Structure 1
């Protein structure tokens, strides 16, 4: 009798073969510059976790996008998903997303931008952040909307951004079929960011950036019996450096405040740091890095505040038109300001892409992750993946 995993592999492989045939037929039918793009990928993985052990999985990853452009505007519609089946035959939606991004140039000095995105995700039931006896992990719906206007005023420039967010977490189902309500983790959020810059030289600019946002939760925290609603403010100053398309970098430092609506909760302030780096010395090499600081209600100590620092980087090298090497890394540290408790995670990975034809790309990846979130013991994860993607 075939296992559920083997049956899934065979059925998805058949679908991928049919898709490849369609791609070959469409090569001569698609109109150049039509703006339509699509791909479908099949990836097999084996993850070994120091707490939950090892398990195989199979993922199907379709993507589709449509870009419409004119002399002064560009709009892109996109959608995709990642559907996973594990070794026991249990299927879940790792990721289901759709969005619209648009830019409109009103003149030589004014640009409008907008984006609407929605994502539905579901964690693995063995995730360390879930109860050990989880049967069905909660689903999360995360929707965002953003609008911006950029104005160039000679040596001065300004950008105003308005954004909103709706985050909803469903219930966690345990092995005894009881549920854990996560309504207190769902919230509405809205905010605005104003950035003013001054060109010191053609390459170097100084800027100040202020942010204000409001967060409203659906239910009170079950431990402190209070809503964690709050207002967050950040004020930072920094420098940016741009050298054509080769180097783009910026760094800023400032102060952040989290002001809780409920007077029983302790308001918090802290130093915050942000930065980014993009380096493209030629068409074959790409290096990116980012530093971000956040202040949020604590997820480990109810009524407290978490300060998170994330440092990430990516690198890609195109050896030739058929072969690309990739690497990525990320380090994240979260400190609960009231208690001083700290948790952290480290992720690193390497990969290779091989294009065997115009439409087909093969890939192989190795990823390592280590996370420590007391009282959960130190957790190491090794993941090996191989896959193939058919592109339009």
Structure 2
């Protein structure tokens, strides 16, 4: 009895041992998927260059992500304005804005727009500005990033703007559109950014009190350009760079004062250094030369000095300091003399969050413009200060004071503006 029981037990143990040994040999020979541990995990034994043989290289679908996040606001303002040239007036403004944005794993895209509508005791209802813009960014891989943007604007200056005749009742309206694209590649310590752009500007007529209309179509132009920026990371924070660009500006019709079109080729070369330290500091400074060669031989070639700088400093979450210096070379614009205009503009602003409900801000600016083939100068500066009081998460009350002066005008023109209002936002 005992013998008959032991024999089957021995036979079963031998069979189980043989099965285990056979299974282990088979698994080792064929590398079958096991429990994910040890040497039987296929992904752990895959080629390191492919990272993961059984993974889907496509970005996962965002099942719950909405197509856009929506933000909008409506600012209503009332202003008291006093200037040397136009006297005292009162102005009401409405400024609606909206923004649609979608952020995904490898980039983002957005669409935004704004309008500025005004009515004053000096002027009838006026659409000061309409703006619409779209932008997008896509990271192809860890080294290559593509970006692009498109902007459209309709601007209607005030009839009392500097540079217009004193009898102006309707200033020249400007329609402009710009598109730009860029590809940035990170080689490690070396980075390269290739860019291109296309733009168009159209100027309307200026209407005087006696019914005379001044034609500004000689300023209508197309712009096309491209450039390359190469940077070298001196340290993880500092990057030295050189930037070169080429562009062409083509006008629709001849300029009355020259009898030819002011078509021109622009060449620029700048060198500088940029710095970025987390979210605390972002800064860049550069200098260089710009060369404008006109298509008609009678005009002298125009050389300009280029100075550009930008600074954003956030020592903590309550304080933000910004400053900038920009140089622009382009068309002289309506009511201006000369074949080209070079403008240097310096700006600065500060924002301080006193507490969750109160924010203080201040700004300052200065501009200086010269023209080729002309002794005309344009200079001016501005100062401003304001505060925002947050009533609740959707409503805030604002108050601002702004001062501006055009020192190149004869006589010098000054304007004081006190503005108060509310902003309703999503």
Would you call these one fold, judging by a TM-score over 0.5?
yes
User: Given that residues 338 and 373 in structure 2 are in contact (C-alpha distance below 8 angstroms), is that contact kept between their aligned partners in structure 1?
Assistant: no
Q: Looking at both structures, which has the greater relative contact order when contacts are Cα pairs under 8 Å and sequence separation is at least 6?
A: 1
Give structure 2 stretches of 5+ with no counterpart. 1-64
Structure-2 change in CA distance of 1:176 and 1:337 (3 Å): closer
For 2:348 and 2:307, how far apart are their aligned partners in 1?
Answer: 16
Summarize the alignment of residues 142-291 of structure 1 with structure 2, pairs less than 5 Å apart: 142-291=176-325
Q: Distance in 2 between matches of 1:39 and 1:301?
A: 37
Q: Is the 8 A contact 1:141 1:167 kept in 2?
A: yes
In the other structure, the counterpart of 1:315 is: 350
Query: 1:80 is paired with a residue of what secondary structure?
Result: strand
The yes-or-no answer on 1:132 pairing with 2:166 is yes
Find the residue that maps to 2:392 and give its secondary structure.
coil
Describe the shift of the 1:303–1:125 C-alpha distance in structure 2 as closer, same or farther (beyond 3 A).
closer
Deviation at 1:338, TM superposition (A): 4.3
Cα distance in 2 for partners of 1:218, 1:384 equals: 41
**1:309-353 Cα deviation digits (max 9, x unpaired):** 111111111111111111111111112354554321101100101
> What does residue 93 of structure 1 align with?
127
Tell me, in whole angstroms, the C-alpha distance in 2 between the residues paired with 1:175 and 1:39: 37
In 2: Cα distance, 1:293 partner to 1:80 partner: 26
**Residues 186-237 of structure 1, C-alpha deviation per residue, up to 9 Å, x if partnerless?**
1110111210000111111110001111111122111122211111111011
Q: Deviations over 1:126-156 (max 9, x none)?
A: 1122121112222111111111111111000
Could you tell me which residue of structure 2 aligns to residue 5 of structure 1? Answer: none
Please report the RMSD computed on the Cα atoms of aligned residues, expressed in angstroms.
1.8
Q: Retained in 1: the 8 A contact 2:339–2:371?
A: yes
Larger Rg: 2
CA distance in 1, matches of 2:387, 2:340: 40
Q: Does 1:388 align with 2:422?
A: yes
Instruction: Please state how far the C-alpha of 1:62 moved relative to its aligned partner.
Output: 0.8
2: CA distance, partners of 1:280 / 1:108: 28
1:358 equivalenced with 2:387 (yes/no): no
C-alpha displacement of 1:291? 1.0
* 1:303 CA drift (Å): 4.2
CA distances 1:92-135 after superposition (whole Å, capped 9, x unpaired): 00111111111111111111111111111111111122121112
Q: Which residue of 1 aligns with 2:73?
A: 39
**Matched position secondary structure for 2:316:** coil
**C-alpha distance 96-139 of structure 1, shift in aligned 2 (>3 A):** same
Residue 18 of structure 1 corresponds to which residue in structure 2? none
- Which residue number in structure 2 is paired with residue 109 of structure 1? 143
Greater fraction of residues in strand: 1
Deviation, 1:78, is: 1.1
Q: 2: CA distance between counterparts of 1:266 and 1:298?
A: 16
Aligned pair count reads: 361
- Shift of the alpha carbon at 1:372? 2.5
CA 301–324 in structure 1, closer or farther in 2 if over 3 Å, else same? closer
Superposition pairs for residues 280-359 of structure 1, below 5 Å?
280-298=314-332, 302-359=337-394
Alpha carbons of structure 1 residues 33 and 220: separation in structure 2 relative to 1, 3 Å: closer
SS at match of 1:184: helix
